[in-house]
Amino acid sequence: MSNDSTGSKRMSKRRRHISARNNTNQNKHRWILSYADFITLLFAFFVALYSISLKNQGSSKLLTETLEGVLQAVQLSVKPISLGKVTTGNAVDDAFQELTPDRDSDPSPSPVQNQATIVKKELKVVQELNQMILTHLGEYQQNGLISINESELWIEIELKAGLLFSSGEFELTNEAVAVLISITQVLKKYSYPIVVEGHTDNLPVLNNTYSSNWQLSSARASSVVDELIGSGINPQLIAVLGLSSEKPKVRNSNDFSRARNRRVTLKIGKIEAENLYDYLFE
């Protein structure tokens, strides 16, 4: 009984050994299957690339021939540009001299030069006006009836209404005409635009000619403009602006302050122009 049991154990052990050996042999050669699959896929990939190259070969050839034809046609049609007769020196230097403007020619002024010219002329106008007033109208300036001021865009000549008009009237006095003629002698030398502003105080108009200070201020400014144009100012360079009492110099609190607010102001532009519209809006 013990002999049979011992034999069975030996047989079972032998079978397990054989089975393990067989499994080892099978696992040992499984890499061949993976390698074969990889080679097959790689072969298929190159076959696909080859087929694509064959398919596009005709198109690539056609494209190449077309480009070569176009480039050849361009080369045949282009003519060399003459840079002038070269006499001496290096070719690059000669070409540079040919393309470089002559220093003796009159170059276009730079923006800085233009601005300097404008400022210089502006100062000249102010000096002439001051000299004219000092020489011919000094008495009016001393009495505060004429003054010159400057803002960023304008040279301003202020004329008091007491110098120009009778109370509540718009017609210029003979004295006012003489003053405006003197001013025109300077201004008509230039093409500066001029805006003539009429100003009043805040008291209502007491005559039947005008219904408001708007009308009175506009009429007074218009009288000044008519005289300036008659004395030689270009009418395209001048305009009227009636401002009533809306832009006082000082508060209208008494007779003295109201007298200061009744005035006509000549605003002279600082840049010459062909007409006033271009100066204001372009």
pLDDT digits (tens, 9 = 90+) for 17-59: 555 555 555 556 666 777 777 788 777 777 667 666 665 555 5
Determine the pLDDT at residue 37.
Answer: 75
Residue 194 and residue 269 in contact, taking contact as beta carbons nearer than 8 Å = yes
- Structure pTM? 0.58
Q: Is the distance from CB of 139 to CB of 182 less than 8 angstroms?
A: no
**3-class secondary structure, 196:** strand
Confidence (pLDDT) at 68? 61
Q: What is the dihedral of CA 130, 133, 138, 141, to 10 degrees?
A: -80
More confident residue, 214 or 107: 214
pLDDT tens for 153-205 read 888 999 999 999 998 899 999 999 999 999 998 889 889 999 999 999 999 99
Q: Which residues, other chains included, contact 200 with Cβ-Cβ below 8 Å and sequence gap of 6+?
A: 161, 213, 216, 217, 244, 245, 261, 262
Which carries the bigger pLDDT value, residue 46 or residue 128? 128
